[in-house]
Amino acid sequence: MSVPGTRSTARPQFIAYLGFDGTCAEAMRFYEKTFGGKLEALMRNSEMPGAGNMPPAEGNRIMHANFVLHDGSSLMAGDAPSGQPAATRSCLCRKRSGRSALGC
């Protein structure tokens, strides 16, 4: 943790959030196998509160996934709702102190 009024020498951390069209779980397992690290979260829409109110076809799609590399970098992802384009939703570069440095 940095002390207010001092400069941190920690390198920024890049975090990407990717969107998929129903293939998020497969992609994240591939990244885990290929790059090492750990798939820390893989939450399906059916596991979320209120899931009973969504169309059944949406239940197996991934709401949120988080893959963490050995250096602490994260790759987060989710499936876009059916019928919507899958695209990168956002990215963030943050200081290791946890404060955002740049968002897009």
**Higher per-residue confidence, 40 vs 10:** 40
User: Which amino acid belongs to residue 13?
Assistant: Q
19, pLDDT greater than 70: yes
11 within a domain of the structure (yes/no) = no
pLDDT at 84: 78
8 within a domain of the structure (yes/no) = no
6: left (phi over 0), alpha (psi -120 to 50) or beta: beta
- Overall number of domains in the chain: 1
CA atoms within 13 A on the CB side of 102: 8
pLDDT tens-digit readout, 38-51: 999 999 999 988 88
Q: If you average pLDDT over residues 67-95, what whole number do you get?
A: 77
Beta-sheet pairing, 74-79 with 13-20: parallel
CB 58 within 8 A of CB 44: no
79 within a domain of the structure (yes/no) = yes
22-49 exposure pattern, b = at least 16 Cβ within 10 A, e = fewer: eebbebbeebbeeeebebeebebbeeee
pLDDT at 55: 86
Give the domain extent around 50.
Answer: 31-96
43 within a domain of the structure (yes/no) = yes
